[in-house]
Chains A and B, each alone.
Chain A
Amino acid sequence: MTDPVEIDFELNGERAHREVPPGTVLLDMLRHDFGLKGVRGSCERGVCGACTVLLDDVPVASCSVFAFDVDGTRVDTVEGQRDGEEPGPVQQAFAECGGFQCGYCTPGMVMLTTGLLRSNPKPDPEQAREWIGSNICRCTGYQMIMDSVQRAAELTAERAGRDEAGPGAEAAGAGDGPDDGAAGAADGSDAGAAGTQERSDDGATEDRA
């Protein structure tokens, strides 16, 4: 009656295959089957955005997407955002600008920002505000997240230029490494905040279906 469903998809650039019960949501599959603990569960109503991943380059709440629906798609999580041995440009930007405090929402914010920059590499503050308004941060007051988005756009462009210039080129700011705590938050490591299963119904005032 509830036979498992076979799904093939691309996960952080690698081909993935699973058999999942139909009632499995993407969040649970990523965390439990693939061990991607940077994908955070929180409201589990698609409201807070802590679980944001990219599905074919656009941000979605993985708590509200059935796993069977990612068959044939491309999924990106915060774990795939590293740039070799360095944090990726968006992670680096959040670390530099302090775009987090407790860090629980940060992987979702990083993926939201990544999706924004894939959609528009040079977002203006109004567009950045509209996108970032999709996710909830209870700590920062958002200004430092907004600063992080603008910095992420700069770093992404710099690294793209460096990549085009070849392996010998140096990017400005590449030596400005994050402090340890910042890197931990921005790469989605499942720190102590993982136990904060905060239910957030207030944002549920938004339309969806």
Chain B
Amino acid sequence: VRQQMRGAGLVSPTQSALPPFRLIRAGSIPDVREALRAHPGATLAAGCSDLVAQVREGLTPHTLISVRRLPELLRAEHTDGELSLGAALTHSEGPAHPAVRQAIPSLAAAWASIATVRIRFRATVGGNLMARRYRYEMGVILGALDARMHFTGPHGDADVAVDEFVRSGAPGTPEAVDRGLLHRLTVETASLRWYSYDRSMRPVTTVAVAVRAPEAGESGGRVIATVGSEYRRPVRLSAVLPGAELTAADVRPVAARLAAGLPDWTGDYAGTADYRRHLVEVLAGRQLTAALGARP
């Protein structure tokens, strides 16, 4: 018998026995809202690959609302400078979707690189984010794109930036209870000039970099980088490029400024904060150098 986390105490005498729960198979988003209204605190489920692990770790859902087959959660489209991703798209379906590949090919490539083939067939982008496990990569991948998460629930609709979501709460926090159903994510693409994700140093440090068009009063573009690691939450960093026509020498100080913004608390026993800053400077520098001659 294993002592479980999350304060649930002794959950099961074997790994196989899961606590009982009520199942609701929702047929539409209004069905989900109604189910959440009728069963406050219900758990939302799609791919379930992380959820089953959470249950084995001590999560005890009294009601589970399956949203796996909701067509609204399986769509992707790119219109009017915005890429919209259904939250139940799997890591296999999403990167292969024509809308994603057309809108941001490097996002498709990044998304297709995570997890394993077997997990990609089942796990969803929404579940990846809602699980709030630091080692999961969609928070890093979508964080640099300033993606927004759109929720709907019995108390109305809400949206929040991925970075803000990542910064709030602790791993395993049942955020869906508070916000409702995460039904889609959006990425503004009109100002996006370049994007890439480097996971070559995973699990110590991964870096996603997006370059966007300059805002009013800026001569160069804006750089947003998200830095992830196994045991620390992703960190969003930003800098402004010093001009429109840049050389590799010009972007090195930008990478250094990004790296300098990495907080001390990102250091852990797998790598000190200084080591991670060094990695960010190198990886972001490479990505920005590549960005000089390419589009997303």
Neighbour of A68 across the interface among B46, B66, B135, B230, CB < 8 A: B66
**Is B18 close to A, CB under 8 A?**
yes
Whether B49 lies near A61 (C-beta < 8 A) is: yes
Which of A87-95, A129-137, A157-165 sits within the interface?
A129-137
Contacts of A25 in B (CB 8 A): 16, 18, 52
Q: Is the CB of B123 within 8 A of A209?
A: yes
Are A41 and B23 closer than 8 Å at their CB atoms? no
B135: chain A residues at CB < 8 Å are 204-205, 207
Interface-facing stretch out of A52-60, A138-146, A170-178, A188-196:
A52-60
Interface status of B15 (Cβ within 8 A of chain A): yes
Given known A-B contacts A2-B20, A64-B122, A209 and B49 have beta carbons under 8 A apart: yes
Interface centre among B21, B46, B64, B116 (most CB of A within 10 A): B116
A69 contacts partner chain B, Cβ-Cβ < 8 Å: yes
B128 lies within 8 A of A207 (CB): yes
- A/B pair count, beta carbons within 8 Å: 129
Residue of chain B at shortest CB distance from A52: B118
Contacts of B16 in A (CB 8 A): 25, 27-28, 41, 44
Q: B21, A59: Cβ atoms under 8 Å?
A: no
Beta-carbon contact of B22 and A22 below 8 Å: yes
Whether B96 sits at the interface, judged by CB under 8 Å, is no
- Contact among A22, A28, A49, A204 for B118, CB-based, below 8 A: A49
Looking at A23, A45, A68, A112, which has the most chain B CB atoms within 10 Å of its CB? A23
Decide if B56 is an interface residue (CB 8 Å cutoff). Answer: yes
Taking a contact as CB atoms under 8 Å apart, the answer to whether B117 and A134 are in contact is yes
A208 x B18 contact (CB < 8 A): no
- Give B42-67 as 1s and 0s: 1 = Cβ < 8 Å from A's Cβ atoms: 00011111111101100000001010
Report how many residues on chain B are interfacial, defined by Cβ distance under 8 Å. 48
Residue of B nearest to A23 (CB): B18
**A44 with B56: in contact, given A66-B48, A68-B66, A207-B138 (CB under 8 Å)?**
yes
| B2, closest chain A residue (CB) | A199
Query: Pick the contact of B121 from A2, A28, A58, A206 — CB < 8 Å?
Result: A58
Are B119 and A208 neighbours in the complex by a CB distance under 8 Å?
A: yes
A3 to B21, CA, bound (A): 9
Indicate if B240 sits at the interface (CB-CB under 8 A).
Answer: no
The answer on a CB contact under 8 Å between A208 and B115 is: yes
Check A131–B117 contact: CB distance below 8 A. yes
Q: Within residues 113 to 154 of chain B, which ones have a CB less than 8 A from any CB in chain A?
A: 114-119, 121-131, 135-138
Report the Cα distance A52→B53, complex, angstroms: 16
Residue B203 at the chain A interface, CB threshold 8 Å = yes
The answer to whether B78 has its CB under 8 Å from any CB of chain A is no
Does B276 have its Cβ within 8 Å of any Cβ on chain A?
no
B261 adjacent to chain A (CB < 8 Å)? no
The residue among B23, B46, B230 with the most chain A CB atoms within 10 A of its own CB is B23
B114: chain A residues at CB < 8 Å are 206-207
Distance in angstroms between the alpha carbons of A113 and B196 in the assembled complex: 31
Closest 10 pairs (CB-CB, A-B): A209-B127, A208-B123, A22-B23, A134-B118, A134-B116, A209-B128, A2-B20, A23-B18, A209-B50, A207-B115
Instruction: Name 23 interchain pairs, CB-CB below 8 A, sorted by A.
Output: A22-B23, A23-B19, A23-B55, A44-B16, A58-B121, A59-B117, A61-B49, A64-B49, A66-B48, A66-B52, A130-B117, A131-B117, A131-B118, A204-B53, A206-B114, A206-B115, A206-B116, A207-B128, A207-B135, A208-B123, A209-B47, A209-B123, A209-B124
A23-B19, A44-B15, A59-B118 known; 16 other A-B pairs, CB under 8 Å? A22-B20, A22-B22, A23-B21, A25-B18, A44-B16, A45-B52, A58-B121, A69-B48, A130-B117, A134-B117, A206-B116, A208-B115, A208-B123, A208-B131, A209-B46, A209-B127
